Structure 1
Amino acid sequence: MSIEVSENKDVFLLSTNSTSYAFGVDDQGLLRHLYWGRKLTSVADLEMPPLTEVSTNDPVFEITREEFPVHGGLRYKEHCLKVIFADGTRELVYQYCGYDVTQSEEQEELILHLKDEHYAFYVDLHYVLHPAYDLMERSAVIRNEMSDPIQVEELYSAQFHIPYENLNFSNVHGHWGAEEQRFTQKVSYGKIVIENRRGISGHNHNPYFILDRDASETSGEVFFGALRRTGNFRGVVEQTPYGETLVQLGLNPSDCLIELAPGENFAAPAILFGYPHTGFETMSHNLHRFARDHIVHKGSRPVLYNSWEATEFHVNSRDQIKLAQKARELGAELFVLDDGWFGERHSIQNGLGDWYVNEGKFPNGLEELISEVKDLGMMFGIWVEPEMVNPKAQLYQQHPDWIYHYETRTSDTSRGQYLLNVTKPEVQEFIYNMMDNLLTRYDIDYVKWDANRPISQTGPQRDIWVRHIQTLYTIVDDLKKKHPEVLFEACASGGGRIDYGILGIFDDFWTSDNTDAYDRLYIQDAYSRIYPIKAMRAWVTDCPNFLSNRVIPLTFRFHSAMMGSLGIGCNILKFTPEEMELSKDMIRLYKEIRPIIQEGDFYRLENPSADDYFLYEYRKDNEGLLFAFLPQSKVGHRGTTVRLRDLDEQAMYTLHTKEGEITKSGSYLMYHGLDLHLNGDYASTIIRFECKQ
């Protein structure tokens, strides 16, 4: 059993393969955190410390490490739940009412039941254990059994307590075109807040926390958690005056008020969390493996060609067919028709909402293009932005009340568009039917679902920030049930919807509109800390790059994009014969190594050189890959020593380098390392290796 309960049934010890998490109920009925760290052997060892206070200005509620602190009483700290009862009471006093345990082959779940001492208001705390992945999940479900509604002002999924000070906190910052920029800062006194208020998950911070004690990739304690929710979130990290660090994560209370009707319940999003004492690599591996096995759509991700950068809005059947023919010649498996195929869509100013095929661009309908793509042996994909509408579109002219708006205010446009109020039943029906008709009428295998603006003018209902995302989940989930073979890519002006909530609904992430191969190394490195490689779409595009204006060799661009699910976005009609042959070779190679990249384990390797090498390893069964990049040589033009990881010390490995085959023992490759010297700027290589038993 992964869940142990003490003899008095007041202490709970939750364990995975190598970690434990514990809490208990004290004699006051208070739920208190006891432990999070390396695996403990017995619940009997755990003791409930007595409640103490420093002074009357430091009451016990303030000092005690509560498992799920609520608003009320002598609590002035961060809390997880704040409600307003119908009579105006804004304080919660809970009573512990018992627990339940459920078990399946792959997981166990503990549910703790709490109830307000006066009101028929219930809170169930859920703890799901995934022992084989050293992961757990926490969430809370609140339920109103009264005859009057309750207003929920704040609801966080969980609060965690770490018995250390001076930890390092890691997350990402950024903006459009510069998503996933990793940062680390020391936690001291005061609070660190990460959040999003835009409705789209955002290009700024990401809904996860990583706290470590000076850890490296392969050593040191790491505490982490990732929220399974898209849209507005808030995370707080605080080093308290009482010798601990707390962190909580959940729905952002900014401008949000959820009304819980009589008999209604509401579930906070789950947090996947874990604790390795062996560094960041273990954290990433556990999350990646769990995602591949239980979240991400099964099967290989196809090599795609996307027409956007070649044609932008100037699409027509003739040119798209030419691109498709050229893409198939390169070896692409999926052709994606991007923006501009529908309505009067000639720029960002019109078309969104009018999801009919533009006859001027496609006089024989989409059937002509799709038939050609299918005859070429490729899958067909299409771009949509169903949550949006342009002011000039017929849809808006017919239904101006379908957008988020105030009657007495001018509605904001962003990128020339409004946001549809998807919480309206008629809007939900329109989007679902439009997408269902599109997928039913046409032989479509892949949908690139975009969202290019944040939410504004939400109207009087302050639960829109939550309900918009819930509705989006429902629409796409229903579509996938009816069209189970269709892959859905989550895009939001690039990487604006990267989170574990959307990944449970969509299949791929569009990581960033920034396709510069050098910039992508930083973006992809930070992404890999939490999210699975298989879901990371990466493209090869033209140079000079439209954002950076850099000119980078095609080989380097391919190698950078081959680190994830490969796509090509170049204007391949302008490729030289040499570029065509190189692209064919690269795509052929990618298909050979794709199982290792998409299904294998990913390693961020140490670079001991003064030159800025980027070094990565992929491993699956007995096969492996080494990706090495040198964007720029420094004075001295030094090489580096690559120390591979997680090999069998006794086994022999054959590496296939440009200079020929090298056979070395696992111990040599891990401890001595492979000497590697790349020359010039934007140099890169991929070295395949396999174990020779």
Structure 2
Amino acid sequence: MAICLSKKNRIFGLHTNNTSYVFGVDGLGLIRHIYWGEKINDLDEFSLPVLCEVSTNDSVYEITPEEFPVYGGLRYKEHCLKVNFSDGTRELIYKYIGYEIKEEELIINLADTHYSFQINLHYKLYEEEDLIERWVSLKNSSEDIIEVEKIHSAQFHIPYENLNFSNVHGHWGAEQQRFTQRVSYGKMLVENRRGISTHNHNPYFILDKDATETNGEVFFGALRLSGNFSGVVEQTQYGETLVQMGINSHDFMLKLKPKKEFTAPSIISGYTNKGFEAMSHNLHNFAKKNLLRPGLRPVLYNSWEATEFKVNCEEQIRLAKIAKKIGAELFVVDDGWFGERNSIDKGLGDWYVDKDKFPKGLKPLIDEVKAMGMMFGIWVEPEMVNPLSQLYKDHVDWIYHFDTRETDTSRGQYVLNVTKPEVKEFIYNMLDSLLSTYDIDYIKWDANRPIAQSGTDKAIWYKHIEVIYDIVKELKKKHPKVLFEACASGGGRIDYGILGIFDDFWTSDNTDAYDRLKIQDSYSYIYPIKAMRAWVTDCPNFLSRRNIPIKFRYHSAMMGSLGIGCNILKFSKEDIKLSKELIEEYKKIRPIIQEGDFYRISSNSENNYHCFQYVKQEEAVLFVFLPQSKLGHRGIRVRLRGLQKDKVYSFNYNGQQLKMTGNYLMKYGIDLRLVGDYDSAIIHFSVL
């Protein structure tokens, strides 16, 4: 059984295919962590030794490895929960009440010893993926409001010191820059305080014991929350490393009303002793199986770089015809189709079709796109409003603001207070009307600025994103075929909270094909390839000013869900021909890329090769990139991963059709040599 209980010792065991997670109730009634690691079947072997305080400055409460530490008493460590009761008491004392088991979910019931306040710890198992989803729910059974000042969803105990911590840093145009640093004494914090999105850090943790791609112990967790989060990593004085993650307590206060419940966002967590590759596969498989909409993502064309705000029906039809010619399956009109939207300063909030640009509405364009056999998509930014819009003039009180302060604009925008029922209703009705009026298949939902002047409700930071989730969920119920893309001024909204509610991630506004290799590599550690939108765009790139050959640009973008953002009106005959060939090639290998297992392949060459591989059943695809040749022009031997060792694979390289066993390809590999700057190759392997 996956969930086990030793009633004699009051110890609980959670077992996946390869791991065990064990905790128990000790003599003081505290929920104490015991073990997280490789699978141990016999729960009766575990016990809860009596803990003694080190001194009067190191009480039992301080040294006990609690599953869910709360604020109060002689606890000075990081706590997951802090509340204020109506009579002024500002500490919790919990007692163990009991447990429930619902299919693959264990619930530990705790309650305050004096107040009618319950804490429920939830553990849900995904056995095949070796993952545990953890969260906490609170219930106020009293007659008074209880203020929740801090709530982290879970605490994790790792029985090692001097671990390596990994996350990403970055900013707009440079998101997903992976970093690793050694954990020592003191605390490490990753967080977001902006409300809407962050390009700086991401809501997950990876802690490893000098692991590699294929070996070593890795502990990890991804928070299912967009918006304000915080994560704390601490190496304690008692020989372990702690991790907490949840809603950021910065400027946060949730007023839990009488008889109401609150459920915190969950954390998808796991352990492996097989390195980062196994971690990524487990998370990717979880997402593909439990969150992502089934079916392949279409090849899209987006008209932004071709037209920017100068959108008109005739030119969009011209673009659509060329997009169809090269093989696009989805045509997306970006910003500029609505209101008086001729710059970033106007129109946002006035969601009516611009009659000067589309005299007969969007229908003539959509009809043309549909007649070509393509899907149709459109860009929106529903959370924002321009001060110059009619919407703002009519509803000045709909934005986040303080009456006595001037409200900050950013990118010429205010943020709508979506937690107001009338604002939520407006956004839903606007999008519902758009989707009901027009045959739209794809919504690109953008969000280009953070929240400021957030008002008096300190829970607004969390409530805002919950409203966005609710709107999209309701829209998808009524319009189930529509795909939604999460965009936040680039890759600001990449997280497991929005994944599954939205179908695609816009990874970065930086579409430089060389920069994207690093961005996409960092993304792949936690997030599934299927949801990663990657575009081919014009050169010189608007950010890097680099000129990169079109084949390299396509190959870089073909590593995810392929999109094209070039001004294809300026394409030469050769560009059209090559685009058509490469998109056709992508469609053949797309099931392997979007639905297969992803491998980061290490390089043994003095040259700076970048190698990535995908495997699905009896097929594999290898991407090889050489951004710049170094002196000596050395090649590379690539040892493939994940093949069936006894099967013979056929593949074409340099015009030769070759046959090799999976065993040979994984142990010896293949010798490859790219030449010059920005050379790249894709090799497709199939079992004979």
- TM-score above 0.5: yes
Which position in structure 1 is the counterpart of 2:551?
555
- In structure 1, distance between residues paired with 2:304 and 2:665: 43
Matches within 5 A, 1:144-183: 144-183=140-179
Confirm whether residue 618 of structure 1 aligns to residue 580 of structure 2: no
Which position in structure 1 is the counterpart of 2:89?
89
- In structure 1, distance between residues paired with 2:434 and 2:685: 44
Which position in structure 1 is the counterpart of 2:407?
411
Confirm whether residue 19 of structure 1 aligns to residue 15 of structure 2: no
Kindly state the Cα deviation for residue 648 of structure 1 after the two structures are TM-superposed: 2.2
- Conservation of the 8 A alpha-carbon contact between 2:9 and 2:47: no
- In structure 2, distance between residues paired with 1:489 and 1:650: 41
Which position in structure 2 is the counterpart of 1:393?
389
Confirm whether residue 78 of structure 1 aligns to residue 78 of structure 2: yes
Q: Can you list the C-alpha shifts for 1:452-501, whole angstroms capped at 9, x where unaligned? A: 00000011110100100111110110000000000000000010100000
Kindly state the Cα deviation for residue 688 of structure 1 after the two structures are TM-superposed: 0.3
Kindly state the Cα deviation for residue 665 of structure 1 after the two structures are TM-superposed: 1.6
Which position in structure 1 is the counterpart of 2:443?
447
Matches within 5 A, 1:192-231: 192-231=188-227
Q: Can you list the C-alpha shifts for 1:189-241, whole angstroms capped at 9, x where unaligned? A: 11110000001231010000000001000000000000011100000001001
Confirm whether residue 28 of structure 1 aligns to residue 35 of structure 2: no
- Conservation of the 8 A alpha-carbon contact between 2:16 and 2:127: yes
Letter in 2 for 1:412: D
Alignment match of 1:536 (pick from 532, 536, 547): 532
| SS of match in other structure, 2:530 | helix
Higher deviation after alignment, 610-619 or 4-13: 4-13
- Conservation of the 8 A alpha-carbon contact between 2:197 and 2:450: no
Letter in 1 for 2:367: S
Letter in 1 for 2:18: S
- In structure 2, distance between residues paired with 1:622 and 1:52: 57
Kindly state the Cα deviation for residue 49 of structure 1 after the two structures are TM-superposed: 1.5
Which position in structure 2 is the counterpart of 1:380?
376
Kindly state the Cα deviation for residue 9 of structure 1 after the two structures are TM-superposed: 5.9
- Conservation of the 8 A alpha-carbon contact between 2:169 and 2:179: yes
Which position in structure 2 is the counterpart of 1:187?
183
Structure 1: give runs of 5+ residues left out of the alignment.
none
- In structure 2, distance between residues paired with 1:691 and 1:204: 43
Confirm whether residue 481 of structure 1 aligns to residue 477 of structure 2: yes
Which position in structure 1 is the counterpart of 2:117?
121
- In structure 2, distance between residues paired with 1:201 and 1:40: 40
Kindly state the Cα deviation for residue 649 of structure 1 after the two structures are TM-superposed: 2.1
Letter in 2 for 1:336: V
Which position in structure 1 is the counterpart of 2:43?
43
Kindly state the Cα deviation for residue 8 of structure 1 after the two structures are TM-superposed: 1.9
Confirm whether residue 577 of structure 1 aligns to residue 566 of structure 2: no
| SS of match in other structure, 2:156 | strand
| SS of match in other structure, 1:326 | helix
Kindly state the Cα deviation for residue 636 of structure 1 after the two structures are TM-superposed: 1.0
Give me the identity figure in percent.
66
Confirm whether residue 245 of structure 1 aligns to residue 245 of structure 2: no
- In structure 2, distance between residues paired with 1:547 and 1:648: 42
Kindly state the Cα deviation for residue 650 of structure 1 after the two structures are TM-superposed: 2.1
Which position in structure 2 is the counterpart of 1:256?
252
Alignment match of 1:140 (pick from 131, 136, 141): 136
Alignment match of 1:607 (pick from 594, 603, 610): 603
Which position in structure 2 is the counterpart of 1:369?
365
| SS of match in other structure, 1:501 | coil
Matches within 5 A, 1:663-682: 663-682=659-678
- In structure 2, distance between residues paired with 1:145 and 1:205: 37
Q: Can you list the C-alpha shifts for 1:570-616, whole angstroms capped at 9, x where unaligned? A: 00000000000000000000111110000100000110111111101
Confirm whether residue 296 of structure 1 aligns to residue 288 of structure 2: no
Kindly state the Cα deviation for residue 7 of structure 1 after the two structures are TM-superposed: 3.1
- In structure 2, distance between residues paired with 1:521 and 1:182: 12
| SS of match in other structure, 1:431 | helix
Alignment match of 2:262 (pick from 257, 261, 266): 266
Kindly state the Cα deviation for residue 658 of structure 1 after the two structures are TM-superposed: 2.4
Matches within 5 A, 1:291-370: 291-370=287-366
- Conservation of the 8 A alpha-carbon contact between 1:195 and 1:232: yes
- In structure 1, distance between residues paired with 2:148 and 2:30: 22
RMSD over equivalenced CA pairs, Å:
0.7
- Conservation of the 8 A alpha-carbon contact between 2:386 and 2:392: yes
| SS of match in other structure, 2:67 | coil
Letter in 2 for 1:70: V
Matches within 5 A, 1:425-444: 425-444=421-440
- Conservation of the 8 A alpha-carbon contact between 1:189 and 1:240: yes
Which position in structure 1 is the counterpart of 2:65?
65
- In structure 2, distance between residues paired with 1:398 and 1:648: 64
| SS of match in other structure, 1:275 | strand
The normalised TM-score by structure 2 is 1.00
Alignment match of 1:517 (pick from 504, 513, 527): 513
- In structure 1, distance between residues paired with 2:620 and 2:37: 32
Kindly state the Cα deviation for residue 691 of structure 1 after the two structures are TM-superposed: 1.8
Confirm whether residue 594 of structure 1 aligns to residue 590 of structure 2: yes
Letter in 1 for 2:247: L
- In structure 1, distance between residues paired with 2:539 and 2:399: 39
| SS of match in other structure, 2:345 | coil
Letter in 1 for 2:214: T
Alignment match of 2:504 (pick from 504, 508, 519): 508
Q: Can you list the C-alpha shifts for 1:514-565, whole angstroms capped at 9, x where unaligned? A: 0000000000000000000000000000000000000000000000000000
Letter in 2 for 1:92: L
- Conservation of the 8 A alpha-carbon contact between 2:619 and 2:685: yes
- In structure 1, distance between residues paired with 2:623 and 2:52: 55
- In structure 2, distance between residues paired with 1:648 and 1:681: 34
Alpha-carbon distance change, 52 to 9 in structure 1, aligned in 2, over 3 angstroms = closer
- In structure 2, distance between residues paired with 1:643 and 1:284: 19
> How many pairs align?
688
- In structure 1, distance between residues paired with 2:418 and 2:644: 53
- In structure 1, distance between residues paired with 2:161 and 2:655: 50
Q: Can you list the C-alpha shifts for 1:425-472, whole angstroms capped at 9, x where unaligned? A: 000110000000000000000000000000000111101001001111
- In structure 2, distance between residues paired with 1:602 and 1:671: 18
Which position in structure 2 is the counterpart of 1:52?
52
- In structure 2, distance between residues paired with 1:666 and 1:482: 47
The normalised TM-score by structure 1 is 0.99
- In structure 2, distance between residues paired with 1:481 and 1:344: 31
Higher deviation after alignment, 467-476 or 50-59: 50-59
- In structure 2, distance between residues paired with 1:102 and 1:418: 45
Q: Can you list the C-alpha shifts for 1:603-649, whole angstroms capped at 9, x where unaligned? A: 00110111111101100010010000000111111101100012222
Letter in 1 for 2:483: L
Q: Can you list the C-alpha shifts for 1:354-377, whole angstroms capped at 9, x where unaligned? A: 000000001111011101101111
- Conservation of the 8 A alpha-carbon contact between 1:201 and 1:499: no
- In structure 1, distance between residues paired with 2:183 and 2:687: 43
